[in-house]
Amino acid sequence: MSKKPHKISLIGSRATSVLSVTLVLIFLGLCATLGIAVHRASQAIENETSIIVTIVPGEDPLRVSELKRQFNASEWVDSYDFTDAKTVLSREANTMSGDALEALELLSGNPFGDEFVLHIASGWRSTDSINALTERLYDTESVDIVSGDASALGSANEGLNRMMLFLSILAAVLLIISIALINNTISLSIYSRRFNIHTMRLVGATNAFIRRPFVHAGMYTGLLAGLIAATVIGALQLYLMLYDDLIGTWITPAVIVLTAIGIVVAGTLIARAAAWCAATTYLNKSFNQLFKR
């Protein structure tokens, strides 16, 4: 009868440990999901990096053709979209109204030139590269206006990098918390069996033999917590993937599976390492220290 409260307390502590580690792993899974979304958003911004080049109105078609040849041969141009002056005029006229449209109709010629939208190659998508390319294009004959989004790219990358740093710090803090929780649970379990441990030492049991069941218990705690957390995060990711088409391009079924595997493996390894450290620390204590809480 006297062992019932102790047994209930130990089971309660293990349940609390599983719940606590599960919550930590869920937060880690959320950090991983946000990290993936931030990384994909950064890639999307970089992939859309472009420079708009407007040619001098009425420029010789031969010179425009020469620019096309140069852009095709350039290593920093991934691809480009070309719009002739007539199409640009029609596009701009559709966006105008009132006095601006009347003034445009009074003009005898086309005030707009041909337009290139240059999609930048992957190795040239930094802010410094965009600024250097913009200056180079301004020095090119036949070019009238050059507009690049280097400042927008720099601001977006700076914001995304700050978010990634915050997520990394948060994940590290949560990792420390999970290790501390498991360590406390294993320490309590060892303390509750200190008399058995002392008896096992008297008959020649090694620390490795004594440590093994505690490490296994820690692994089972981490595995169970990982499975629960992976289920919760997977359901959340699936909901987001089906809820929004844009998020669906970032969070794919492969990402959901890999995240779930990562959570389960991380939970098991973290719990095993924490249990091993807690058991080793406790078993390295002297006889008198072993009976002190």
For the stretch 156-178, pLDDT in tens is: 667 777 877 887 888 788 778 77
Q: What does the pLDDT read at residue 227?
A: 93
Q: Poorest-confidence range of 57-61, 145-149, 267-271, 272-276?
A: 145-149
pLDDT tens readout for residues 178-210? 777 777 766 776 777 777 777 777 788 888 888
How many angstroms separate the CA atoms of 30 and 237, rounded? 9
Instruction: Report yes or no: 157 and 44 within 8 Å, Cβ to Cβ.
Output: no
Burial of 249: CB neighbours in 10 Å, binned 0-12, 13-18, 19+: exposed
Instruction: Report yes or no: 56 and 143 within 8 Å, Cβ to Cβ.
Output: yes
% residues pLDDT > 70 (the chain): 82
Highest mean predicted confidence (pLDDT) among 36-40, 117-121, 229-233, 272-276 = 229-233
pLDDT tens readout for residues 232-261? 988 988 888 888 777 777 788 888 888 899
Residue that wins the pLDDT comparison between 51 and 11: 51
Residue that wins the pLDDT comparison between 152 and 25: 25
**Predicted confidence band of residue 1 (pLDDT cuts 50, 70, 90):** very low
Q: What does the pLDDT read at residue 101?
A: 54
pLDDT of 229 higher than 60: yes
- The CA-based angle 226-232-238, given to 5 degrees, is 125
**Predicted confidence band of residue 230 (pLDDT cuts 50, 70, 90):** very high
pLDDT tens readout for residues 83-96? 888 888 887 777 66
Q: What does the pLDDT read at residue 104?
A: 57
**Predicted confidence band of residue 100 (pLDDT cuts 50, 70, 90):** low
% residues pLDDT > 90 (the chain): 5
Instruction: Report yes or no: 142 and 59 within 8 Å, Cβ to Cβ.
Output: yes
Annotate the chain with three-state secondary structure: CCHHHHHHHHHHHHHHHHHHHHHHHHHHHHHHHHHHHHHHHHHHHHHCCEEEEEECCCCCHHHHHHHHHHHHHCCCEEEEEEECHHHHHHHHHHHCCCHHHHHHHHCCCCCCCCEEEEEECHHHCCHHHHHHHHHHHHCCCCEEEEEECHHHHHHHHHHHHHHHHHHHHHHHHHHHHHHHHHHHHHHHHHHHCHHHHHHHHHCCCCHHHHHHHHHHHHHHHHHHHHHHHHHHHHHHHHHHHHHCHHHHHHCCHHHHHHHHHHHHHHHHHHHHHHHHHHHHHHHCCCHHHHCCC
Contacts 24+ apart (CB under 8 A), 57-60: 57/85, 57/109, 57/110, 57/111, 57/112, 57/113, 57/144, 58/85, 58/109, 58/110, 58/113, 59/113, 59/114, 59/142, 60/142
Q: What does the pLDDT read at residue 157?
A: 67
**Predicted confidence band of residue 286 (pLDDT cuts 50, 70, 90):** low
How many other CB atoms are found less than 10 A from the CB of residue 228? 20
Instruction: Report yes or no: 225 and 18 within 8 Å, Cβ to Cβ.
Output: yes
Please give the model's pTM, rounded to 2 decimal places: 0.64
Average pLDDT, the chain: 78
Computed over its alpha carbons, how large is the radius of gyration of the chain?
32
Angle at which helix 3-47 crosses helix 253-283, to 10 degrees, equals 140
pLDDT tens readout for residues 259-271? 899 999 988 888 8
pLDDT of 2 higher than 50: no
- The CA-based angle 258-261-266, given to 5 degrees, is 120
